Amino acid sequence: MGIKGILVLMLIIVVVVSAIFIVPQLTTVVTTSATIKTVPSDCDIIFAIPQHYSYSKNSGTTGAVFYLPSGLWTITVSKSGYTTYSSMITASGTDIETTITLLPTSSQSPTTYPLAIVTDPSGCSVTINGQTKDSGTYGAVFDLVSGEYSATVSRSGYATKSGISCPINGAPSTVSVTLSSEGGTPNHPPVVTSITIPTSLTAGIPGQFVVNATDPDGDTLVYRWDFGDGTSSSYISSPSREHTYLQTGKYALIVTARDTSSATGSDSIFVTVTNTNSNPSNGTIQLVPLSVTFVVQDASGKPISGADVAYIENVTVTGSSAFHSYTDVNGKATITPEKGHSYQIAISKNGFKGIQSTVTFNQDTTVSITLASSSSGQSSEWKTEFNNMLPLVVTLLLIIIFTIIGILSLLSGAIVVSAIMVILIIITAIISFVMGIIPIP
């Protein structure tokens, strides 16, 4: 084989290698389109794969559009005077449009506050401020800025209520709504006839309380206890309840009876609690409600403020109302369950996947909760732009140009020029491998 044959063979080998290593890199890239909008506008958005690529745009007033291939990316959104948000995203080819909200650095609390609409019966459609949600078991939660709002609550078989006043005054709030059945015989509310309390009550020692109530329509009743010391129960079927007052004083005990049509009747009685009795030999009996603190954070460890921690005693009563506590700016919310009682706990926040569990607490404790981002329309999902194919394209063009010059030189008899082109092709390929432009399989 002469020199021409060797040069032809080398050119063929280079072209084949280029086709194997470079062309697939240009044809298999799957890009993901993402439109990132921000509140406020004109935020700086940066997408990056550490030590490889980094792309930035300003969101302007209409948002920024990015394109990127499949892979794991970091996203950072920032603006002077506002908190910086950073997270990670996996691009998988599915286009996404989302809005990211930054809080002012001077804010000590969220600019929006959770409003819980708890309905009886459960599973009602709740509309407020143009948003409609299902109240489920624990209520529908809306994140709204301070102001006066009007809600509409409806459910098939019940009379719709509209114009329900829902004020928000810079703090989380809860509004309870009861719907009446449509048609049929008019319902009559139950009547609480008496409340029986212990003849004497001592601080720190439990007492037994009993309520007697009747319903003119013969409906089954459930009862809610408000002991006047800051503790109350959800609606339960038992007409008796054990409770421990921790401090001496005079308390107004209120018991509410509710029938199957959600009509209610209440009565109250004053309870006097005296000093704790101590016996040096037997000690003092002290029963203290537990203090359970939930610390709620996102996947990056950032506290989630305004998350709704709803809890209800685990009893089978249709329409029982849950109690709500909301996390502060440190992601903390505290509830006071009774020791040994079983509770249903539900933690939720718009833009995150809620969790629900049944728990029995036996001691004071702190529980850490991580909420995952929901699958659509939330602040943890963004897609990006990928525009870094230039080095690979330039490498391929150089090899093609050197190959064409080499072939033409060979055909015209310029063997030295053809040999130089082969050397340049080999050098270009080696540099590309070393720099990672052409990946080694």
Distance from first CA to last CA of the chain, Å, rounded? 32
Assign residue 219 a region (left: φ > 0; alpha: ψ between -120 and 50; beta: otherwise): beta
The domain covering 113-178 belongs, at the CATH homologous superfamily level, to Immunoglobulins (2.60.40.10)
pLDDT recorded at residue 186: 63
> How many angstroms separate the CA atoms of 59 and 42, rounded?
5
Mean per-residue pLDDT, 332-361: 84
**Domain coordinates in residue numbering, the chain:** 3-26+389-435, 33-101, 113-178, 191-274, 292-370
Per DSSP, the three-state class of 211 is strand
pLDDT over threshold 70, residue 305:
yes
Residue 2, CA distances (Å) to 5, 208, 225, 415, 425 in order: 5, 109, 103, 11, 21
Check if CATH label 2.60.40.10 holds for domain 191-274. Answer: yes
> How many angstroms separate the CA atoms of 437 and 395, rounded?
8
pLDDT recorded at residue 280: 40
Mean per-residue pLDDT, 265-293: 67
CB-based contacts of 20, cutoff 8 Å, min separation 6: none
Tokens of 356: 């629900």
pTM of the model: 0.28
User: Is the bond preceding residue 40 a cis peptide, omega within 30 degrees?
Assistant: yes
Give the Cα-Cα-Cα angle 219, 225, 227 (nearest 5 degrees). 160
pLDDT recorded at residue 389: 60
pLDDT over threshold 60, residue 333:
yes
Greatest mean pLDDT among 110-124, 210-224, 254-268, 330-344: 210-224
DSSP string, 148-189: EEEEEEE-TTB--EEEEEEEE-SS-EEEEEEPPBPSSSPP--
CB-based contacts of 59, cutoff 8 Å, min separation 6: 36, 37, 38, 41, 42, 43, 44, 45, 77
> How many angstroms separate the CA atoms of 126 and 166, rounded?
12
Tokens 């439109």 sit at which residue?
35
Give the Cα-Cα-Cα angle 230, 236, 239 (nearest 5 degrees). 95
Which of these ranges, 32-36, 66-70, 209-213, 286-290, has the smallest mean pLDDT?
286-290
Task: Specify the DSSP class assigned to residue 205.
Answer: S
pLDDT over threshold 60, residue 388:
no
pLDDT recorded at residue 390: 65
Q: How many Å is the Cα radius of gyration of the chain?
A: 34
Which of these ranges, 142-146, 284-288, 406-410, has the smallest mean pLDDT?
284-288
Greatest mean pLDDT among 44-48, 135-139, 261-265: 44-48
- Which pLDDT band holds residue 291 (cuts at 50, 70, 90)? confident
**Cβ(307)–Cβ(335) under 8 Å?**
no
pLDDT recorded at residue 377: 37
Query: Among 405, 319, 416, 389, which Cα is nearest to 28's?
Result: 389
- Which pLDDT band holds residue 386 (cuts at 50, 70, 90)? very low
Higher pLDDT: 107 or 102? It is: 102
Tokens 């009602």 sit at which residue?
124
Tokens of 192: 């609480």
pLDDT recorded at residue 17: 60
Query: Among 379, 358, 424, which Cα is nearest to 84's?
Result: 379
Mean per-residue pLDDT, 240-251: 90
User: Is the bond preceding residue 172 a cis peptide, omega within 30 degrees?
Assistant: no
Mean per-residue pLDDT, 264-277: 82
Among 3.40.50.970, 1.10.3720.10, 3.40.50.300, 2.60.40.1120, name the CATH number for the domain at 292-370: 2.60.40.1120
**Cβ(77)–Cβ(84) under 8 Å?**
yes
Give the Cα-Cα-Cα angle 192, 194, 200 (nearest 5 degrees). 140
Mean per-residue pLDDT, 275-295: 59
- Which pLDDT band holds residue 92 (cuts at 50, 70, 90)? confident
DSSP string, 121-143: SSS-EEEETTEEEE-TTT-EEEE
The domain covering 33-101 belongs, at the CATH homologous superfamily level, to Immunoglobulins (2.60.40.10)
Question: What sign does the dihedral 119-124-127-131 (CA atoms) show?
Answer: positive
pLDDT recorded at residue 198: 92
Higher pLDDT: 213 or 435? It is: 213
pLDDT over threshold 90, residue 243:
yes
